[in-house]
Amino acid sequence: MKNFTYLQPKDLKEATTVLQKFPQESLPYAGGTDLLGLMKDGVLEPQRLVNLKTLTGLQGISYRPGKELELGALTTISEIAENQSLAEKFPLLTQAARQVASPQLRNVGTLGGNLCQRPRCWYFRGDFPCLRKGGDICYAVDGENKFHCVIGGRPCYIVHPSDMAVALLAYNATVEIQSPQKSRRVNLKDFFVLPQDDYLHENILRPGEIVTRIRVPESAPGTKALFLKVKEREVWDFATVSLAMVLVTSGKQITAARVALGGVAPVPWLEETVSRSLPGFTLGKDAPEALAGQVLKAAEPLEQNAYKVILARNLFKQALEELAKS
């Protein structure tokens, strides 16, 4: 790892100002569970790390019934996983958080960092001048692509590694972003970018901007939610495929729905067609197979990863069956 300067800003304004002034040389540092690995591997070589951990106003969980949920970007994954109020009102968040990494990493890793982590593609992380590192080729196209994307690729076939992003996308969350000049708020779906729009970055953050807060709208009465994750190893691992489903029901009939997938695309993937098709479906009566074939209908798998489409459809059916019992 190359030497770097460790900066301790006194407030958010100073932190964002440094990051904006030295955009090619500085990176924000919170939990560091991803950043330090990238630095050790020589993928990133910042001259400055700007510590965010001691800044006030970026921590904590705030929820009042009838109001939106607010999550500080420095809230640890463990805090989310262990919060009983969230488990009752926003179960997707605790279900997803409990499946992130290991207990040790959850104790350190932050929500903001989880959303902004870099891809786990072994070509990006390895000694390959790939497209995302400024090269001219995505090695996954003709290489080892078992865990790469099946939809939304071209020209880069990464998958986004965040479990929390999938759950938050299903909840239609928004992200608050701060720069030295102003704050802005964007829908989480618009926070991430596809490679066809920008193959060097995974999100819309500009130099000097950091995520400060995530907001989740109040759940409607009759809401049911479930997060499912398939991993290659039973111990902690990134999702091969994950699914977050939020249903608003009247009795057993679905009146509104959002279905999001992880492990299948360069961004957390919102299954918009399926989400629009679910209202009118009766849990426990209508067969899930009737809609499962629509999941990833536009997928274009690579040579080794067509199995992900089958997995996603089976998770979809499993989620409907489990929520029918709840």
pLDDT by residue (tens digit) across 175-215? 999 999 999 999 999 999 999 999 999 999 999 999 999 99
Structure tokens at 99: 């499946």
Beta bridge partners of 243: 228, 261
| Contacts made by residues 80-89, CB under 8 angstroms, sequence distance 24+ | 80/111, 80/164, 81/106, 85/61, 86/61, 89/63, 89/219
All domains of the chain in start order, with CATH = 1-51 (3.30.43.10), 223-325 (3.30.390.50)
Matching residue, tokens 């489409």: 309
Structure tokens at 275: 């989400």
Quick one: pLDDT band at residue 236, thresholds 50, 70, 90?
A: confident
Distances (CA, A) of 186 to 39, 192, 205, 282: 29, 10, 11, 33
Quick one: pLDDT band at residue 235, thresholds 50, 70, 90?
A: confident
**Which helix (H) or strand (E) segment is 272 a member of?**
helix 272-277
Mean pLDDT of the chain: 97
Which amino acid would we find at residue 31? G
- Report the SS3 class of residue 104: helix
Structure tokens at 169: 């996308």
**Which helix (H) or strand (E) segment is 13 a member of?**
helix 12-21
Residue 129, preceding bond cis, omega within 30 degrees? no
pLDDT for 76-90, tens place per residue?
999 999 999 999 999
> What backbone phi and psi angles, to 5 degrees, belong to 66?
90, -10
This model's pTM is above 0.85: yes
Residues 6+ apart with CB under 8 A from 175: 115, 185, 186, 187, 188, 191, 211, 213, 214, 215
